[in-house]
Amino acid sequence: MATQKTILEPGNFYHIYNRGINGCAIFTETTNYEHFFRLYDKYIFSIANTYAWVLMGNHFHFLVRIKEGVVYKYPNADRSMDAVRFEDVKWETTNDLSACNAPDSVKRPDHSKHFSHLFNAYAKYFNKKYNRHGSLFERPFERKLIDNEENLRQLIIYIHNNPVHHGFCEHPVEYPWSSYLTCVSVKPTKLHREAVIGWFDNEANFKYMHDKNVEIQKIEMWLEL
């Protein structure tokens, strides 16, 4: 019997996680990471704010907060399960809160479907590029509600230390495909960096907490990974 997955509700924070089917690679070169983020920008930034992320060779983690008051400008925007065939205009969204009072003329996003569309679009790209067939990701993707600030901090530390845990580097600052470098940078970003640093009080404490030993197994048990 299939397990009922958590519904992504506006205003809530979630840990979003997925891996390659049977542990297969989903990123093999720089262009893969870059293309994944182009698709992430298309499908996710309109419906969720991003606070932390890491892309590994065969899996990834994101911390997001589902936006409130987002509706499609076009009522038929989410009619099909196959977003890959949609024209971009059908995915255009608006934050016009007044539109939420007109249910007959607008359509609210199915947030889980946006993530599914991201994974389907990336799988189509990856299969075509490397002449492979079939599923690329495990389904359905994992999601876990994060409901307090301490858990937000622990998840961010876990995400940024994932490359250390898997032996890719000795410190998060050495790994290019995570949000750690963005958090300690001053460059413009869509990442909600100020909120992240605020949860750690300041940048100095953010770095200090990332330097401490991380109880990876304890956090993974909590995340049910």
**What are the pLDDT digits (tens) for 155-205?**
999 999 999 999 999 999 999 999 999 999 999 999 999 999 999 999 999
Instruction: Tell me what the pLDDT averaged over the chain comes to.
Output: 88
CA distance 141 to 163: 20
Question: Could you read off the pLDDT of 37-75 as tens digits, one per residue?
Answer: 999 999 999 999 999 999 999 999 999 999 998 888 776
Supply the pTM of this predicted model.
Answer: 0.89
| CA pair distance 16, 48, nearest whole angstrom | 11
- What letter does residue 90 receive in the DSSP assignment? G
pLDDT of residue 131: 96
d(C-alpha 189, C-alpha 183), whole Å: 9
Q: What pLDDT, on a 0 to 100 scale, did the predictor assign at position 2?
A: 43
Confidence of residue 107 (pLDDT cuts 50, 70, 90): confident
Would you put residue 211 in left (φ > 0), alpha (ψ -120 to 50) or beta?
Answer: alpha
pLDDT for 79: 61
The candidate with the shortest Cα–Cα distance to 208, out of 164, 157, 152, 169, is 157
**Residues 26-37: what's their mean pLDDT?**
98
What is the pLDDT, as a whole number, of residue 81? Answer: 54
Higher pLDDT, 150 or 88: 150
**pLDDT at residue number 104:** 55
- Distance of CA 9 to CAs 12, 14, 47, 62, 143, Å? 6, 9, 11, 16, 11
Q: Which domains does the chain have, with CATH numbers?
A: 13-223 (3.30.70.1290)
How confident is the model over 196-217, as pLDDT tens digits?
999 999 999 999 999 987 777 7
Whether the CA torsion 57, 172, 42, 151 is positive or negative: it is positive
Count CB-CB contacts under 10 A for residue 154: 19
Q: Are 104 and 83 in contact (CB under 8 A)?
A: no
